Amino acid sequence: MSEWKKISVGEFVDFNPSEKLEKGKMAKKIPMAMLTEFERKIRGFEFAQYNGGPKFRNGDSLVAKITPCLENGKTAQVDILAENEIAFGSSEFIVLRENENSINDYIFYLAKSPVFRERAISCMEGTSGRKRVNESALKRQEIIVPDKPTQQKIASVLSVIDDKIELNNKLNDNLPNRNLPVH
């Protein structure tokens, strides 16, 4: 029997975890344009000198914190790095990482869920068109989450579905473009 509990977002996940990447070092950079709406995979990267921005590693989830990217569902799970490689990205990302209460795969699905997104959107502040999530306010939001074994089961089922969608999309992209006459 799984156990569900109410917990603050900030207790459930680590926000923008500390990573070491020296200023001026060439590293993989993930720009916002490499995230597509509600897709797990990152579409690519560029090499750039690190001069700032959030740092992350494989398994971490990237969530857009600026309007309209957050509302549009720009969220992805990092899986394009070598083992122990650290990359960086847009300053408009929030990096989410597992801790003793959570697992990375579940965090990704939570981050793209309507429940999480509504809470994040409710924490936006700033002028129209340039609103950003107030991360301190988001960390205080409460959510109801399952224990880690149940998180793993949920994430596994959703991951299989995502894998099938990705395969179908690849198959569709490779179909010949046929302009068949309509009768």
4-173 fold: Adenine-n6-DNA-methyltransferase TaqI; Chain A, domain 2 (3.90.220)
Strands (E) across the chain are located at 4-8, 14-15, 26-30, 46-49, 55-56, 61-64, 75-77, 87-89, 93-97, 124-125, 132-133, 142-146
pLDDT interval class at 178 (50, 70, 90): low
Q: What is the pLDDT of residues 146-176, one digit of tens each?
A: 999 999 999 999 999 988 888 887 788 787 7
pLDDT of residue 177: 64
